Amino acid sequence: MNREGTRWIKSGDGCYLLDEKGRRLLDGLAGLWCVNVGYNCAAIVEAVHAQMEELPYYPSFFNTTTEPPVLLAEWLAKHAPARLNKVIYSNSGSESNETALKIIRAFWKLRGKSGKRKILSREFAYHGVTLAATSLTGLPNCSDPFDLPLEDFIRVPTPYAWNDRVAASEGYGAEIIAKTAEIIDREGAETIAAMFVEPIQGAGGVLVPPPGYLKALRELCRERDILFVADEVITAFGRLGVWFASEREGLDPDLLNVAKGLTSGYLPLGATLVSDEIADVILPAGYFAHGYTYTGHPVCAAAGLANVGVIEELGLVDRVRNDAGPYFQQKLAELAEHPAVGEVRGDNLIGAAELVPRGGRPSASRGDRDGLQPGMALGLKAADLIREEDAIVRGIRDLIALAPPLIITRAEIDELFDSVRRGLDRLWK
Ligand SMILES: Cc1ncc(COP(=O)(O)O)c(C=O)c1O
C-alpha cells in the first residue's frame, strides 16, 4: 500500500461503494466475501445502536453473559446441521478455527487418545492467519515467510482440475480421495485428530469440488475416526442458496466454523459450532479454559441477530437459490466465451474465471494454459482493469474471483459482468 498508493472507500449503499474521488464502484466481492446483505442496512445499524445504548460490553466470563449472544446461539443451533447444538464465539474466522483446534485437542485427550494430534488440511485451503490457522492454510505465500506450518499439520491434495489439466469428473475426485487415503494410512489414522475442509475453497481460487468428492472425503474421515471440520466462513449464510453448505452436501460435520456473513461484516464475530458428541465429552470435564475478552460481544451478536433477521425477512437464501444464483451462473458461463478466459467455475453467488494470456489460446482446448508463465499475475492485472471499469473483483494468481452481496439484482449482475468484460477486453488487447 505504501509503495503503490492506498485507495479509500468512503461510503457504501446496497451493492455500491463510493471511493475518495466520488467514483461509484459495484462491489463484486461483497467486501471480502462477507457483506451478504449489502451496505447501509438500516436494521443492522439500528440494532447495533440500540445495543450500544443498552449495554456496550460485558464479558462472557464469571458465569455471566448477555442476551444477544444467547439468542444468536439459539438461532445458530436451530438452523445449523442436526448435531451442531453448541456455539462458542470468537472474533474472526481465524479464531474460530483456532478455537476448534483447541476443542479437538481437549476432546481426544479426554477420550484417552492424546496420540491423535495431527491435523489434515488441503492444498489451496485458506483458514486464516493466526499461527495455527496459517498452519492449516495450504497457500505457500501465506505460510513460507513464517516457516509454517507448525509440526503435526499435514497437507493433502485437493481437486483443482484446471491446475491438473484434467476434467473435473467424478473419477478425478475419486483419485484425489485415494491419494488422501494413502497419506492417512502413511501417517496412521490413530495419530490424526481432525481434517479441516472448506466446502468450496474460496481464497485459494474458488475451487468447486467435483461430484461425489466431498461426500467421499467425509466418509473417509468417518471410517478412520478423524473429526470432520467444515470451515464455512465463506459458504454459510446464503451465498450458495442455503444457510449452510454442509447441509446441502450432507457432510454432517463434527464442528463447523462461521464468521464473515454471520454479521455481513458489519462487526467482527466468529463462531465454532460443536456437535453434541463432542460437547458431551468436553462439558462434564469442567472448566474449559478458553475465552477472549470479546467472546460473545453483545453488540457484535446484536449485529449478527439483526443480520440473520434481514436475510430471513428478505428471503435472500431462497432468492439466491432460485433467481440470483442461477442468473449469476448463466452470466459466468457466457463469460467462458471471452478469449481471455480459459475456464469458469462457480456455485450460486460465487464464481471464478481462470485467465489465459493473449497468444496462448490457439484453440478452445485445455492447451490454452500453455501460454501461462509463472508470475504473470493475470488476475491482479485484470482486477485493476475491471476496477477502472467501475467494478471490484478479486485477482488471485491468474484468475478473478467474484462473490457479490446476496441482494444483487439481475440488472446489477448484468452491470458487473459488463465491467468484467470491458476489463478483460483491455487485458487481451
Ligand atoms: C474459509 C475461511 N476460513 C477462515 C478465514 C479467516 O477469517 P478471518 O479473516 O476473519 O480471520 C477466511 C477468510 O477469508 C476464510 O475464507
Q: Which domains does the chain have, with CATH numbers?
A: 9-33+315-428 (3.90.1150.10), 68-313 (3.40.640.10)
Query: Among candidates 340, 325, 338, which has minimal Cα distance to 402?
Result: 325
CA distances from 153 to 207, 232, 376 (A): 21, 20, 30
Per-residue confidence (pLDDT) for residue 365, from 0 to 100: 46
Distance 53 CA to ligand 1 centre (A): 30
Q: Is 15 in the pocket of ligand 1 (CB under 6 A)?
A: no
Distance 137 CA to ligand 1 centre (A): 10
Q: What integer pLDDT is reported at residue 204 of this predicted model?
A: 98
Q: Which grid cell is 321?
A: 437459490
From the CA of 127, how far away is ligand 1's center (Å)? Answer: 5
Averaged pLDDT, groups of 10, the chain, 429 residues long: 91 97 97 98 98 98 96 98 97 98 98 97 98 98 97 98 94 98 98 98 98 98 98 98 98 98 98 98 95 97 98 98 98 96 97 87 51 84 97 98 98 98 94
Give the cell for residue 124.
489451496
User: Model pTM?
Assistant: 0.97
Q: Which residues contact 350 (CB under 8 A, 6 or more apart)?
A: 33, 200, 202, 206, 234, 239, 240, 401, 402, 403
Which residue's C-alpha comes closest to atom 1 of ligand 1?
Answer: 233
- State the helix-helix crossing angle for 378-388 and 410-428, rounded to 10 degrees: 120
Pocket of ligand 1 contains residue 30 by CB under 6 Å:
no
CA 397 to ligand 1 centroid distance, Å: 18
Rg (CA), the chain: 22
